[in-house]
Structure 1
Amino acid sequence: MSSMLPSISPELARIAPGFRALSIYVKAAPLCDLQVGELALKEACQAVLDGQPAWAENHLNAWGDVFKAFGAKPRRTPCSAEALRKRVLRDGTMAALDPVVDLYNAVSLRYAVPVGGENFAAYSGLPRLVIAEGTEAFDAMKEGQPTVESPEPGEVIWRDDIGVTCRRWNWRQGVRTRLSAADKEMWFILESLPEMPLDELYAAGKMLTDGLTQMMPGVAFEATLVSVDSIPA
């Protein structure tokens, strides 16, 4: 497999010192076991209700501080992992959506880590984490209809050559690169701060790749740790 690495703007070191992420590029194989994701999701919901992991609150609070540092309001627009966790704590469970989406949501819940899943075939160029100028295009849905928005100047975004793929770091994913189990090229990004032990980040990645391997035997993947210190923009 050819190397596929996202880029991270050095400017983000002042907003989120110690930020590191596990980038996992996947060449999918035919689906054989459709229950893997749903079962993982049920187990992860129970883990949340049981108060796991022990460091979840510290990690999610740290993400809240990072969001505040670039002008976001984490109570209104929390990081993706906190939003999922709040839903499970409120409802006690989460409905299955798609085998692959269920799996990466399970990883996010079990490890209190924001996980993005993208249809890499829909990308133009490589993913990059940058500070928005405010003119970039973000395709979204509003009241059931497609719409195009722009991020706020200074907002942290994931983007490619066409436009924004995820707003407010990991808050809301765009429509264009949305992932499903039918996609042939997948990209996952597991994003952590120092409050999450590094070995737990690797364990989260292993949960994802083990689940994909069980779900679609023959899948190939490439996992790489990236950080604000190791990757030039």
Structure 2
Amino acid sequence: MQPVMPSIDSGISKIAPGFRAISISVEAAKIVDKGVASEALTRACRSLVEKDAAWSEAHSLAWAEVFRTFGAKPQRTPCSSDALRKRVLREGSLPSIDPVVDLYNAISIEYALPVGGENIAAYVGEPRLVIANGTESFDTMKDGAVAYESPSNGEVVWRDDIGVTCRRWNWRQGIRTRLSADAARMWFILESLPAMPLDALHEAGDRLIEGLHLMMPGAVIDPRLVSLDSGNTL
């Protein structure tokens, strides 16, 4: 398997000093146990209410500050983990979407950690975390139909050679690369700031990998640490 090699624009270091992530490349296999995801999601929602991670509040506040730094308003467009966790606290649970999506959402909720999942076969070129110039194209849904918009100038986005795949860093995923359980090649990115201990980031990655192996025992999985020091996987 050729692992995904995401890159990070050097300008990100001024917006989010100390940013690091776990990049996980997956050659998928047949799903044999969908219950792994539902159990993980139930456990994550319960842990949020009963015993939250010690670093969760500090990590959420750090992400909110990063969003403000590049011009986003976290109250209106929060980071992905904040959006999930607030919904769970409001509604008590999260409805099932898809086994693979449910699994990575569970990790995001339990670890107060933005987690993205992408159908990497839909990418043209490797994923890149960059500062947008405002001319890039992003596909989304509007009034039930596919629509195209552009990010703000200075906004942090994930993109490939065609256009933006996720706006406002990890706020909204595009349609073209959206992940589901029938994807043959998957890519996950677990994104953290220094407010979250590095060992907790690795633990979250291990938990996601464990769940994927239980769900699809034949999957081939390659995790890599990504840091601002190199701008590439290590």
Q: Same fold (TM over 0.5)?
A: yes
For each residue in 1:6-40, what CA deviation from the matched residue of structure 2 results, as whole angstroms up to 9, or x when unmatched? 00001000000000000000000011001111110
Task: Give the conservation status (yes or no) of the 8 Å contact 1:36–1:215.
Answer: yes
Task: Give the conservation status (yes or no) of the 8 Å contact 1:138–1:165.
Answer: yes
Q: Equivalent residue for 1:108?
A: 108
For each residue in 1:177-203, what CA deviation from the matched residue of structure 2 results, as whole angstroms up to 9, or x when unmatched? 000000000000000000000001011
Task: Give the conservation status (yes or no) of the 8 Å contact 1:10–1:229.
Answer: no
| Deviation, structure 1 residue 51 | 3.8
Does residue 171 of structure 1 match 2:175? no
What is the number of equivalent residue pairs in this alignment?
233
Q: Equivalent residue for 1:121?
A: 121
SS at structure 2 position matched to 1:157 = strand
Aligned pairs (5 A) from 1:55-74: 55-74=55-74
| Deviation, structure 1 residue 230 | 1.5
SS at structure 1 position matched to 2:86 = helix
Percent identity for Structure 1 against Structure 2: 61
Does residue 49 of structure 1 match 2:40? no
4+ residue stretches of structure 1 with deviation over 4 A?
Answer: none
Q: Write the distance in 1 (CA, Å) between the matches of 2:200 and 2:17.
A: 19
Task: Give the conservation status (yes or no) of the 8 Å contact 1:22–1:223.
Answer: yes
SS at structure 2 position matched to 1:96 = coil
Q: Equivalent residue for 1:18?
A: 18
Task: Give the conservation status (yes or no) of the 8 Å contact 2:116–2:189.
Answer: yes
Task: Give the conservation status (yes or no) of the 8 Å contact 1:88–1:94.
Answer: yes
| Deviation, structure 1 residue 103 | 0.1
Q: Write the distance in 2 (CA, Å) between the matches of 1:103 and 1:3.
A: 21
Using the size of structure 2 for normalisation, the TM-score is 0.98
Using the size of structure 1 for normalisation, the TM-score is 0.98
RMSD value over aligned CA atoms? 1.1
Q: Write the distance in 1 (CA, Å) between the matches of 2:111 and 2:41.
A: 12
Q: Equivalent residue for 1:82?
A: 82
